[in-house]
Chain A
């Protein structure tokens, strides 16, 4: 499955959950396919989507919180997987779109073709871990994860397909903060 197809499957499954997006093509695909106030687009600070999402999940225990991450981001902040496992927020679902490359900078390889991220998550202590390779498996796997006790980790293996003509997020960072906070109240 292509990366874009994973987003096309995943985004219609969202309700009002806050979603913290990793930088790069993750932000841009999601913004262009389905922009929503509950989306926090992290345009810089690579690696921190998972810790931002953990902070939201701990402070908003009654909301399901989603981190939409990439393999490069996860590898940059592997220690955060331990923090998530240790705090064990039941309301956190960590979705990783794994294309095995740094796609927005020109498809340089990451390490996730040889290092299975879902196994790292599992051994760190995430309660629910799943890996999907086929488009049709995304919906059941994500819905199961949403309805299970977290923290959950859903790895979606995709092929790179990012079209560099895909626009950047047009909201200013301050606007992103403002509307995201408003959507959480």
Chain B
């Protein structure tokens, strides 16, 4: 049994001082977002588009907060201009929690292409990421914190189907 749940995940992020959450939902992240809406120590702001969420996170970071952006990988396309012409050149970090639809080509048709290329897109943009597993959480979080605090760059945690509970 893994001890990584929506609740332990969110609580750990809050302990690392991530208290500003925004994004566009995905069913794979529904449990995480439900928990965020319940906790008092963090704020979850619904964004209308993923790139607006990037902007919102940038403003939060500039004001001294540590922001988290939650989205499906379908939102990555919308975000690429914001990542490349804002975050990467201004050194404005953000922790991105990105669900992986279309993994292994087994999903609804609209997810297949992006499911195949989302990691390649991140690599092409020079953006580091890890696929989150229950057993590597401590290690990838440490890597993410180093990226965010030292290099001031975004870091993405990719969430596979089944990692977190879904509430819908």
Chain A residues packing against B (C-beta within 8 Å):
20, 40, 42-60, 77, 79-80, 82-83, 86-87, 173-174, 176-177, 180-181, 184-185
Contact = CB atoms under 8 A, between A and B. Distances in A.
Interface in B98-113: none
B52 A59 contact: no
Contacts of B90: 173-174, 176-177
A79 B24 CA distance: 13
A51 B62 contact: no
A83 B81 contact: no
A52 B48 contact: no
Given A45-B86, A79-B52, A185-B64, A55 B47 contact: no
A56 B48 contact: no
B45 interface: yes
Contact of B63 (A44, A60, A173): A60
B62 A181 contact: yes
Contact of B52 (A43, A46, A51): A51
Band of interface residues on B: 20 to 34
Contacts of B56: 51-52, 54-55, 83
Interface in B46-72: 46-49, 51-65, 67
Contact of B51 (A47, A49, A59, A174): A47
A180 B86 CA distance: 14
Contact of A56 (B46, B62, B81, B84): B62
B91 A44 contact: no
A185 B43 CA distance: 21
B62 A83 contact: no
